[in-house]
Structure 1
Amino acid sequence: MATIDRQATTLALAHALSAAERGLAVIPLSRTKLPALRSPHRTGPDPAGPRRPDPAGPHCHGECGRFGHGVYDASTDPARIRRLFAAAPWATGYGIACGLPPYHLIGVDLDTKSGTDSSAALRELALRHLFTIPETVVVLTPSGGRHLWLSGPPDVVVPNSAGRLAPGIDIRGAGGYLVGPGSRTGHGVYAAAPGTAHLPPAACPPSLLRLLLPPPRTGRPAPSAPGDHGRGLVHFVLCAHEGQRNTRLFWAACRAYENGIGPALADPLTEAARHTGLSEHEARATIASAARMTGRRP
């Protein structure tokens, strides 16, 4: 077993160094996917009495000069990476820190353990919010899930979240990390999907980026008049060209139901869709699908 572990550590270090050459900051991980080095500030016995917490612990992000600060240890410096792995000879994988230059990496984790089809949920979101996932790095997980690598803007901080975007979809942002391809865990090996290993992380679509950010902490703006909003949605459908009619109708219907005017706009949206060439049956079915997707009854 020791030989296998040494081989796994050697491979993990090689993959980590390769990632660092691409500008990705890395840390060693254990088989549990957790940082391999424990915090130097963890609670320990005190000879003079009961255990005392290290007051610097929760606030230290590596300023103490020691290893064991999780993602704050991440580096692209080969010498530092070798020292990190030398301090953790049990490491069998590596993590890639998100939110750091040059890519300001955002990880979209499509999980399979939640019992939901996270890939279908992402497609639904893309349809509702009119974005497409560009060609980018895709990492296949041992459980059958996928990690999509996207690049964010340098002046935007994307937070970590679990299931907020949709069930089964977790986001790795600033302060988080992704398990790098080539890492070995207790459940198997992470591997880049064929044809994606050497791609740069693609830019995150603006519509998706807006969904990943927390709402601004400002006073609630006065809602626009429902009539004006409804007319705008109908006009949006009327302007659809062939090939985008159903997509525009679905998007407009989702917005209508989210704003509480779906039932009142069902007939005007249907009529607008018929004007663009959809049949009434197709239009009604799409509007009903939007109502279900937003949790409303058509």
Structure 2
Amino acid sequence: MATTDRQTSTLALAHALSAAERGLAVIPLSRAKLPALRSPHRDDPTAPPCHGECGRFGHGVYDASTDPRRIRELFAAAPWATGYGIACGLPPHHLIGVDLDTKSGTDSSTALRELALRHLFTIPPTVVVLTPSGGRHLWLTGPPDVAVPNSAGRLAPGIDIRGAGGYLVGPGSRTDHGTYATAPGTAHLAPARCPTALLRLLLPPPRPRASGRTTGAHGQGLVHFVQAAHEGQRNTRLFWAACRAYENGLAPALLPALIEAARTTGLTEREARATIASAARLTGHHT
């Protein structure tokens, strides 16, 4: 191994051990940001699912550890590693990563601010990691009894979520595109608690209720919510109600009533339909 590569691997190990001291479970990563160790079962298509029960390395985030001895063994088995991944969803932090991407051509930071305004939450001061492409990773913590799923663009275009079973590239890692670094003024912070309103958005939408009576009552409540809007609240309330309608599978039957409710507050039908179309796009539906 070239001296430069060896130094890069040694530096990655040092950063990984430092992260482990903060209670963050880590694995070695390659320059492509993938787990550096390949599955020991890759050549056996009949092998049963294994999350490390076989005792060998190569199980992705299931190898993640905070034990310095095990981390050194992982990196010794992958001397080509140039970075490290931090497993999300594990105690004590139950890390949730909000990945604000720039490669999609969308303004993901603005999208997050709009979500915060519409759902009434703020992102508290927390660890922020800058990516080589100009994006940002926000580190948040979740409740121990809630498994936040991984998602790409579901929350909004350009916003990916790293949850249970996922990992974040740790600061100090070197990749084919550059080095990840902690944003100035955030390295000393602990991951902040995920706002409750944001956590609700990150979890899978509830399944539609089997009881038509209960669903109807919920739908009527959304209509009343829109009807009670004052000037300055009309679009915001309609957008929120339309999002809930889409998430709960009520939209096909409820949209005409929401449009009519919006018209009673002073919105035109065209304005109401435009707002509902925005809610459809945000929740991954098409109008």
TM > 0.5 between the two?
yes
List alignment gaps of at least 5 residues for structure 1: 44-51, 239-244, 272-282
Q: Give the root-mean-square deviation of aligned CA atoms.
A: 2.6
- How far, CA to CA, are the matches of 2:24 and 2:71 in structure 1? 12
After the TM superposition, which residues 69-88 of structure 1 pair with which residues of structure 2 at under 5 Å, given as runs?
69-88=59-78
Give the aligned partner of residue 28 of structure 2.
28
TM-superposition CA deviations, 1:68-106 (whole Å, max 9, x none): 111000000011101111111110000000000011001
Count of residue pairs the alignment pairs up: 267
In structure 2, distance between residues paired with 1:60 and 1:130? 42
Contact 2:226 2:262 in 1 (8 A): no
Deviations 1:224-273 (A, max 9, x none): 276654333444x45xxxxxx84x444312134455244323344349xx
- 8 Å CA contact 2:83–2:173 kept in 1: the answer is yes
Q: 1:252 to 1:217 in 2, by over 3 A?
A: closer
Cα separation, partners in 2 of 1:250 and 1:195, compared to 1, 3 Å: farther
1:89 to 79, 82, 85: 79
Identity over aligned pairs, percent: 70
Residue 118 of structure 2 corresponds to 128
| 2:93 is equivalent to residue 103 of structure 1 | yes
**TM-score, normalized by length of structure 1?**
0.81
Retained in 2: the 8 A contact 1:95–1:177? yes
Match for residue 216 of structure 1 among 192, 202, 206 = 206
Say if 1:4 and 1:54 are closer, same or farther in 2 by CA, change over 3 A.
farther
CA distance in 1, matches of 2:221, 2:24: 48
Equivalent runs, 1:11-90 vs 2, <5 Å: 11-43=11-43, 52-56=44-48, 59-90=49-80
- Residues 260-269 or 94-103, more deviating: 260-269
Contact 2:225 2:241 in 1 (8 A): no
Change (3 A) 1:165 1:225: closer
Question: What is the Cα deviation at residue 291 of structure 1?
Answer: 4.4
Stretches (4+) displaced over 2 A: 215-221, 223-235, 248-251, 255-259, 265-271, 283-296
Matched residue of 1:224: which SS? helix
CA shift digits 1:26-66 (9 cap, x unpaired): 000000000001111111xxxxxxxx53514xx11111111
Retained in 2: the 8 A contact 1:93–1:179?
A: yes
- Pick the structure with greater CA Rg: 1
Change (3 A) 1:130 1:116: same
Deviations along 1:198-219, whole A, 9 cap, x unmatched?
A: 2111111111111111123463
- How far is the alpha carbon of 1:220 from its aligned partner? 3.9
Compared with structure 1, are the counterparts of its residues 174 and 227 closer, same or farther at alpha carbon in structure 2 (3 Å cutoff)? closer
Q: Are the aligned partners of 2:83 and 2:175 in contact in 1 as well (CA < 8 Å)?
A: yes
Q: Tell me how far apart the structure 1 counterparts of residues 241 and 153 of structure 2 sit (CA, whole Å).
A: 24
SS where residue 216 of structure 2 aligns?
coil
Distance (Å, rounded) in 1 between the aligned partners of 2:210 and 2:135? 38
Is residue 200 of structure 2 the alignment partner of residue 204 of structure 1? no
**Partner Cα separation in structure 1 for residue 239 and residue 97 of structure 2:** 26
Distance 1:86 1:227, change over 3 A: closer
Q: 2:169 aligns with which of 179, 186, 191?
A: 179
Once the two structures are TM-superposed, the CA of residue 150 in structure 1 deviates from its matched residue by: 0.7
Long gaps (5+) in structure 2:
246-254, 282-287
The DSSP-based 3-state class of the residue aligned with 1:255 is helix
1:10 Cα deviation after fit:
1.1
After superposition, the Cα gap between the structure-2 partners of 1:29 and 1:116, relative to the gap in structure 1 and judged at 3 Å, is same
1:16, 1:226 → 2: CA distance? 50
Measure how far apart 1:195 and its partner are: 0.7
SS in 1 for 2:168: strand
Q: Which residue of structure 1 aligns with residue 260 of structure 2?
A: 264
Question: Is the CA contact (8 Å cut-off) linking 1:256 and 1:265 kept in structure 2?
Answer: no
Q: Distance in 1 between matches of 2:263 and 2:51?
A: 58
Contact 1:12 1:183 in 2 (8 A): yes
Structure 1 pair 257/219, CA: closer, same or farther in 2 (3 Å)? closer
1:294 partner SS: helix
The answer (yes or no) to whether the contact 2:225–2:237 under 8 Å persists in 1 is: no
2:27 is paired with a residue whose SS is: strand
| Residue equivalent to 2:159 | 169
Greater mean alpha carbon deviation, residues 131-140 or residues 96-105: 131-140
